[in-house]
Amino acid sequence: MSVPKKRRTSGSAGRRRSHHALKTVTLTKCGQCGRSIRPHTACMFCGAYKGKEVIKIKEKKTKGEK
């Protein structure tokens, strides 16, 4: 049985790779604290989503505190 000389043409491989490019990240501002967050997600800094607190955020401890 014969073996093909070239499996994919360069154009076919390029068309397949055309979807591998990185897309820009869209950001919106949080309604509570004003930080940049991804849309349709809860804010990881204040825990708010659509103006309501949905996540309780723990405060970070300093090295001297226990």
Q: Taking all residues of the chain, what is their mean pLDDT, rounded to a whole number? A: 90
DSSP the chain: ----S-SS-HHHHHHHHTT-SPPPPP-EE-TTT--EE-TTS--TTT-EETTEE-SPPPPPPPTT--
The whole-number average pLDDT for the span 30-51 is 92
pLDDT in tens, 16-25: 999 999 999 9
The whole-number average pLDDT for the span 2-7 is 84
pTM of this prediction exceeds 0.75? no
Question: Residue 5: pLDDT above 90?
Answer: no
